[in-house]
Structure 1
Amino acid sequence: MRTKFLPGLLAACLLSACGGSDGVGVAAPVFVSPAPSDPVVPVAPPVAPPVKPTFGAQVSFGDSLSDVGTYAVGAVKTLGGGTFTVNGDHTAIDPALTGKTWTVVLAARLGLAAPCAAQTGLDGDASSGFAVPVESHAGCLGYAQGGARVTHPVGPGNKLTGSALGALTVPVATQIANHLAISGGRFKADDMVQVMAGGNDVLLELAALNASAIAAGETAGSTAYVSNLVGLLAAGATNPATAAQAIGAAAATAQGSPGSTLTSVTQAAIGAAAVQPGNSAVAAAAVWGPMVKQANADAATAGAAAGTAYFNAHAPDLVDRMTTAGAELAALVKDQVLGKGAQFVVVNNLPDVAGTPAGRKESAGGRGLIAAMVQAFNAQLDTALSGDARVLLVDAYALSHETAANPAGYGLTNVTDTACDLNAARNPLQSSLVCNGSNLKPGDVSHYAYADEVHPTPYYHALLAGYVAQKMAERGWL
């Protein structure tokens, strides 16, 4: 797993395989002595195996899965965090708890120095220790940032989402532009470039749809509640139709008042109902209580139906947006990475987000939508980037499916729960960003797949790094 590329050994291998000692690793042509009447037919020399590339640097772009410490500052650092996994070297607890993400593991496999964050800082709540000046670090080529999206500047944890953390969430498009700005507008021919993004586009798009669906359900439920309550309260009046108009008007007035609540609207409706001819009995809690209960039940049913209808109606929009995001990432790779000189580019597609602990909490419809979003994104990468010899498209989606279906075969002991205790009392951010050996769940969690609800443990990061290395070896890059 940790074999390094050794030019000296490779040269020796070439000399041995070719039987030559002329210093270039290729034997001289061999000729067979022909019969006097036969033409001279040369035998082709053995073909030397291709020389594997030697990489001078690892340049990574993406999100939290590749972040090597953008937010390892301020209170995050004080809390023992900094990357989105189980932080810190806890190999004394278990050898798998290395604290390393896949880019760190792969850099060692390539014989390169451990990557460092190109930019660090936080733009959040100063009183909580989340306001730390943003700094760029010369020589550090780990541009990936937790919360980053493909092109949109606002991702999970960004202050514009209301988060106190103030994650920078510089999008991949800007990450690449930042690198080109300090590298003369070009990648070096021996750069090993890594790109992995799109997960935060899924998460924020889904969160926005869920919020809108909930709002639609609440609006429909509130309307249904008032309408049903008015009808129930008016039913005992001498003239129900006239009573309903008066009760409805009182409820509408209450709804329009500053500081209106469902309770204040209910009280206004009951008060108006009790003064209707023949309806004084409704003033008693024993009478109106069951009516309110029935109206609430009807409202819940109507709200749920409206929320589901909204979700289903707008779900295709999210698939379209992920199609666009995938096309945007592919275009960035083609135009701003390959088009700027990169010769070796690893692009990991999106893993199965629906299979994460967070995805498993969604409804069946929600999981189906997540799957469709991920597949739409990955299809764009496959269509645009397959067939280019400079690009190695790694199927992280397939790996996530294989490990979920056969965890024991990969040494995993749990693929559904989190290794980190995300209770706010032990983990203030409720995130792997500040998860470490002090706030893990009880028992042996070293071989869990997930640190938190969407981020892998160091053990799974090692699996991903090994998978990428295997694909690189198959391509002849390692």
Structure 2
Amino acid sequence: MKTIRVLGLSLITAALLAACGGGDEPYEPGTTPTAGAPTTKGNFSAVVSFGDSLSDIGAYAPATSLSGDGQAPYFGGKFTTNGNGTAGTVWVENLAAKMGLLVTPGEVGFGAQSVKCPAAALNLGNTCTGYGQGGSRVTDPNGIGKSTGALTVPVSKQIENHLARFGSFKDTDLILVYIGSNDVFIQFGGFAAKAAQIQTAAATGQISQDEAQRQLFAAQTAAQNGMKQAATELAGYVRTQILAKGGKYVAVMTLSDTVDTPYGKSLPPSVQPVLTDLSRVFNLWLREGLSNQPVQIIDTFPILKDSYANPAKYGFVNNTVPACDGAKIQAITGGRVTDGSSLFCNGTAGVPFNGLRTGASVDSWAFADGVHPTTGGHRALSEAFHAQLKAFGWL
């Protein structure tokens, strides 16, 4: 069987840019910087976070109920190495704690049940401004895991929910937007399925190698166009639903390279560039959509690439093997969870629901599962983001 080569970012991006207009010196999207964001320290009273599983601070805790009825206590609930106290905190919580603030989930639930702002019933104040949910996408409500009970409220709706509660954003809000990874997974999954069909058709003589290359190019272009659309939509929400509704201190994160994860490294080398390029295309059009806007962009692509290339610099001794043991999690959940998701991984020593791999550490191993950070991984991420916010002059 002949191998169909994948096409690099430069070739497909050229095709995408051609659609923007010609000329001897075509405009290059994503090169105009943001402008006008605050440069002074903020008097912050709330951390408002929009995103997906990386920013999820416990939206799906009921799925990990020890009693199995959705009620507390829970043995998991976040996409990391869960535990007691500061164990199992994600970057949003860490960052808020550094600022002396409390942030709690805007909505908690699973399946047909959900509760908006559960912290209100606990007299924790109006702190329910952590809207990130595992599986969520930029606009499409049918995120990853939706069919099996995940809420996957998209960021467009997350922002809408915040505005419905508060009416607008405040000068004292630190607003963090980190979304797009699930759009990458959806687009990559579609490409991979199409590529497999093309590979089979070429191998069985149904199409020529030239036709296979043409179809593969079309499949890659379609996936990248999907990422361009998601990025363009996200930039639009930032402009019209955050900045236009009072947002002042607004930081938007680019996507990192998913290849720099255990999942990414498990893929055949021939398709890893496709995965990388989906994030790059998203980042390019996100920057384009935020050109001259009063926001700050935190570029996670080089931050996480450096942490993967130089793990010891960040205190990691292992960044290739997930700390959570898929077989243990399957046993703990009675066979309900077979993918080793860190949502169901608890790192507390000595408890029967501990899902860590033998010898693993929640602090010095970087990844909890194939794509999500451990407690230590989130700590490193929050420190990097904190440094960026200080560099902006906001902290």
TM score, norm. by length of structure 1: 0.64
Equivalent of residue 378 in structure 1, options 274, 279, 283: 283
> Does the residue aligned with 2:182 lie in a helix, a strand or coil?
helix
Equivalent of residue 79 in structure 2, options 79, 84, 92: 84
Equivalent of residue 346 in structure 2, options 436, 455, 468: 436
Identify the structure with the greater helix proportion.
1
Query: 1:439 corresponds to which letter in structure 2?
Result: G
For residues 435 and 305 of structure 1, what CA distance do their matches in structure 2 show? 47
**8 A Cα contact 2:46 2:174, kept in partner:** yes
**In the TM superposition, what is the alpha-carbon distance from 1:305 to its structure 2 partner?**
11
TM score, norm. by length of structure 2: 0.77
Equivalence for 1:241: none
Equivalence for 1:332: 237
> Does the residue aligned with 1:418 lie in a helix, a strand or coil?
coil
Equivalence for 1:46: none
Equivalence for 2:141: 153
1:188 corresponds to 2:170: yes
1:110 corresponds to 2:99: yes
Q: 1:332 to 1:171 in 2, by over 3 A?
A: same
Stretches of structure 1 that go unaligned for 5 or more consecutive residues are 1-49, 92-97, 124-131, 225-297
Q: 1:220 to 1:402 in 2, by over 3 A?
A: closer
Equivalent of residue 203 in structure 1, options 182, 185, 205: 185
Equivalence for 1:14: none
For residues 209 and 105 of structure 2, what CA distance do their matches in structure 1 show? 45
Query: 1:324 corresponds to which letter in structure 2?
Result: Q
> Does the residue aligned with 2:321 lie in a helix, a strand or coil?
strand
After the TM superposition, which residues 111-130 of structure 1 pair with which residues of structure 2 at under 5 Å, given as runs? 111-113=100-102, 115-123=103-111
After the TM superposition, which residues 217-236 of structure 1 pair with which residues of structure 2 at under 5 Å, given as runs? 224=204
For residues 411 and 472 of structure 1, what CA distance do their matches in structure 2 show? 22
**8 A Cα contact 1:217 1:306, kept in partner:** no
1:240-260, Cα deviation, whole Å (9 max, x unpaired): xxxxxxxxxxxxxxxxxxxxx
1:96-133, Cα deviation, whole Å (9 max, x unpaired): xx2110000000111111x211112112xxxxxxxx51
Equivalence for 1:422: 326
**In the TM superposition, what is the alpha-carbon distance from 1:142 to its structure 2 partner?**
1.0
Equivalence for 1:168: 151
User: Greater shift after overlay, 305-314 or 372-381?
Assistant: 305-314
After the TM superposition, which residues 21-60 of structure 1 pair with which residues of structure 2 at under 5 Å, given as runs? 52-60=41-49
> Does the residue aligned with 2:108 lie in a helix, a strand or coil?
strand
1:281-334, Cα deviation, whole Å (9 max, x unpaired): xxxxxxxxxxxxxxxxx99xx999998875454112111111111111111111
**8 A Cα contact 2:80 2:374, kept in partner:** yes
**In the TM superposition, what is the alpha-carbon distance from 1:134 to its structure 2 partner?**
1.7
Q: 1:473 to 1:465 in 2, by over 3 A?
A: same
For residues 76 and 391 of structure 1, what CA distance do their matches in structure 2 show? 39
1:190-228, Cα deviation, whole Å (9 max, x unpaired): 11111100000000111122233335556777xx5xxxx
Query: 1:149 corresponds to which letter in structure 2?
Result: R
1:101 corresponds to 2:90: yes
**8 A Cα contact 1:217 1:304, kept in partner:** no
**8 A Cα contact 2:64 2:344, kept in partner:** no
Query: 1:202 corresponds to which letter in structure 2?
Result: V
| Greater RCO (CA < 8 Å, at least 6 residues apart) | 2
Equivalence for 1:317: 222
Q: 1:411 to 1:211 in 2, by over 3 A?
A: same
**8 A Cα contact 1:215 1:307, kept in partner:** no
> Does the residue aligned with 2:113 lie in a helix, a strand or coil?
strand
> Does the residue aligned with 2:243 lie in a helix, a strand or coil?
helix
Q: 1:384 to 1:217 in 2, by over 3 A?
A: closer
For residues 288 and 223 of structure 2, what CA distance do their matches in structure 1 show? 20
Query: 1:200 corresponds to which letter in structure 2?
Result: N
**In the TM superposition, what is the alpha-carbon distance from 1:417 to its structure 2 partner?**
1.5
For residues 200 and 309 of structure 2, what CA distance do their matches in structure 1 show? 39
**8 A Cα contact 2:232 2:285, kept in partner:** yes
- The aligned length equals 330
Stretches of structure 2 that go unaligned for 5 or more consecutive residues are 1-38, 69-73, 121-125, 348-353
Percent identity over paired residues: 38
Larger-gyration structure (1/2): 1
For residues 151 and 308 of structure 2, what CA distance do their matches in structure 1 show? 32
**8 A Cα contact 1:65 1:455, kept in partner:** yes
1:34-55, Cα deviation, whole Å (9 max, x unpaired): xxxxxxxxxxxxxxxx862210
Q: 1:373 to 1:121 in 2, by over 3 A?
A: same
Q: 1:443 to 1:101 in 2, by over 3 A?
A: same
**In the TM superposition, what is the alpha-carbon distance from 1:83 to its structure 2 partner?**
0.6
**8 A Cα contact 2:64 2:77, kept in partner:** no
> Does the residue aligned with 1:414 lie in a helix, a strand or coil?
coil
**In the TM superposition, what is the alpha-carbon distance from 1:62 to its structure 2 partner?**
0.6
Q: 1:420 to 1:466 in 2, by over 3 A?
A: same
For residues 288 and 277 of structure 2, what CA distance do their matches in structure 1 show? 16
Query: 2:367 corresponds to which letter in structure 1?
Result: Y
